[in-house]
Structure 1
Amino acid sequence: MDSIRSTLEARMEPEDAQAFYGRWARLYDVIARRTPGIPALRRRAAAACRLEAGDTVVEMGCGTGANLPYLREQVGPEGTVIGIDFTGPVLERAHELTSEYDNVHVVRGDATRPPLARLDDETAVDAVLATFVVGMLADSAGAVDDWCDLVGPGGHVVLANAARSEEWYAPPVNAVFRAIVVLSTPPTTKLRYENDPHVRLDEKIDAAHTRLRERSVAIADETHVFGVVRLTGGRLETS
């Protein structure tokens, strides 16, 4: 475990985003764990990583750690779970909630430049999970490419993200979704945007999930929570 810790190097993000998400860390934690349907989704996302006992999994943008216990269930006490996020207060919460596990590590860093480079030859990354993350990235498809390269042939990458529903009952669901996106986009005091945040979010999510499908040889696509949450899991081609 000490060798794993020594390979991890945190990187900082802009201070305004740090401050915004830091202030709301505990509220986000409640939402992440208590919203109806979301705990089941997190368990499903962890299962989609196709992990086995002893594997190593990295969660990009782990937030307050809501997924980490589910990932730990998949790899068991012999495996390794690493959660990466850029916000200090958020990671503090994640550390509090996973402190009982000696094989779960939370690290401050940037999901687009993850502070690990395959760790070492003996600790290859078997899967990468990213939930509700790619919509925050400037180049979501490029990030997926990097995560696929990190995992390598035969590994798995799983994405779960919220975007506008395409179900028949979508209009009221999407109205609520748009309000949530606006309120969760810093700064929340901005009432009018030149480009709607939810439209930009959809574009980034579509690009990321499309890229994962392009890079994968086995693909699972699902929708959850009134059609708002899209889950895509891909197994990368073996060498």
Structure 2
Amino acid sequence: MSDDPTQVQEFFGTRAATWDSRFPDDGPAYTAAVGALGLRPGDSVLDAGCGTGRALPALRAAVGPQGTVIGADLTPEMLAEAVRAGRHLSGRLLLADVSGLPLRSGVLDAVFGAGLISHLPEPEENLRELARVVRPGGLLALFHPIGRAALAARHGRRITPDDLRAEDRLGPLLAASGWRMTSYVDEDDRFLVLAVHDG
């Protein structure tokens, strides 16, 4: 799929209504990935490219009632499904693109991005924008509920050497964007990369 924002919006817009029913068993994987971020009560966190908001309840549970949870997505239909599922009760929803977030610099403790990395139109610049809104020492989690090989197989493909999510490609990309990769896991049942903002 193209990483052009309009085409990404169209792709997810037409699939929004059935998105959750296509992946009904992902909840525990999201909860585990949020747990790996090590959020504390009172923290502020952004779910970048939140889609239907599947991570929002786990993020709210991690930061507690005093914390701040924001879900940002560029597809109105996905955000509408998040509201329909009641997940807007766990965080504030923003119609926004990660290329220019309507947030002040350094206001967040962490960013969570499920399935995000492969849809970024300008990966280095977009990751730099995520770093901008996170305080120095803040965290980034790039997550997918299945690993690269399983995801490629689901789409009838194989992993190619130019896969942006490969460890030897993603590490330097993160470093060039203000992040330092601290953990890389690519297994059949999850893809999870953790990084810290070095800014």
Question: The TM-score by the shorter chain falls in which range?
Answer: 0.7 to 0.9
TM-score for both structures, normalised by structure 1: 0.68
Other structure's SS at 1:232 match: strand
Match of 2:15 among 21, 24, 48: 24
Q: Secondary structure at the match of 2:99?
A: coil
Q: Give how far 1:176 is off.
A: 2.6
1:181-239, Cα deviation, whole Å (9 max, x unpaired): 7xxxxxxxxxxxxxx9x649x62323445433674557122234x26x421112234x7
Cα separation, 2, equivalents of 1:27 and 1:20 = 12
2:70 is the counterpart of 1:70: no
Q: TM-score, normalised by structure 2?
A: 0.80
Q: Which of 160, 174, 187 is the equivalent residue of 1:212? A: 174
Query: Paired residue for 1:132, among 115, 126, 143?
Result: 115
Residue 143 (structure 1) aligns with = 126
In 1, the alpha carbon distance for the partners of 2:120 and 2:72 equals 14
Rate the CA distance shift 1:43–1:174 in 2: closer, same or farther, 3 A.
Answer: closer
Matches within 5 A, 1:74-223: 74-98=62-86, 101=89, 104-118=91-105, 124-161=107-144, 164-165=148-149, 173=150, 176-179=153-156, 199=160, 203-206=163-166, 207-212=169-174, 215-216=178-179, 219-223=182-186
Q: Say which is worse superposed, 212-221 or 148-157, in terms of deviation.
A: 212-221
Q: How far 1:50 moved relative to its partner?
A: 1.9
RMSD of aligned Cα (Å): 2.8
Q: Aligned partners of 2:22 and 2:88: how far apart in 1?
A: 22
Structure number with the higher strand fraction is 2
The superposition leaves residues 15-40 of structure 1 with CA deviations (integer Å, 9 ceiling, x where unpaired) of x54333222112212234x14xx322
Q: How many Å apart are 1:105 and its aligned residue?
A: 0.6
The equivalences for 1:17-56 within 5 A come to 17-32=8-23, 34-35=24-25, 38-56=26-44
Q: Percent identity?
A: 26
The answer on whether the counterparts of 1:141 and 1:208 sit within 8 Å (CA) in structure 2 is no
How far off is 1:143 after superposition? 1.7
User: How many residues were matched structurally?
Assistant: 191
Work out whether residues 127 and 174 of structure 2, in 8 Å CA contact, stay in contact via their aligned partners in 1.
yes
Kept after mapping to 2: 8 A contact 1:164/1:177: no
Q: Deviations over 1:162-196 (max 9, x none)?
A: 6632xxxxxxx4663333x7xxxxxxxxxxxxxx9
Segment of structure 1 superposing worse, 205-214 or 107-116: 205-214
Secondary structure at 2:27's aligned position in 1?
helix
Aligned residue in 1 for 2:196: 235
Distance 1:205 1:25, change over 3 A: same
Q: Which residue pairs with 1:6 in the alignment? A: none
SS in 2 for 1:203: coil
